[in-house]
Homo-oligomer: A and B are copies of this chain.
Amino acid sequence: MHFTELIKTVKERREVLKVTQETLAELAGVGLRTLKQFESGKGNPTLLTMHKIADVLGMEVCLKIKNVTHHP
């Protein structure tokens, strides 16, 4: 999962839940600026920040084995 996909996932999930950046940032306990930077692709958040954001969205950061067989 590339960086871009993580962003897209967060963005989409947030929109599905109909939460604004402002609310999400507040609930997650991270600065609004931080969330904005992340979602606009200008940011390299720490794992903790990422975790806090994901948590509020009912998601979790995980590591999974890459699939080497690409396009079937």
* Interface of A, helix, strand, loop or mixed by DSSP: mixed
Q: Mark A3-15, 1 if CB is under 8 A from B, else 0.
A: 1001001100100
Name the CB-closest residue of B to A48.
B44
Q: How far is the CA of A3 from the CA of B10 in the complex (A)?
A: 19
Size of the chain A interface, CB-CB below 8 angstroms: 24
| Complex contact A6–B63 (CB within 8 A) | yes
Query: Which residues of A are at the interface with B, using a C-beta cutoff of 8 A?
Result: 1, 3, 6, 9-10, 13, 44-48, 50-51, 54, 58-66, 68
Interchain residue pairs A-B with the least CB separation, the first 6? A1-B62, A44-B46, A59-B63, A44-B48, A9-B63, A1-B60
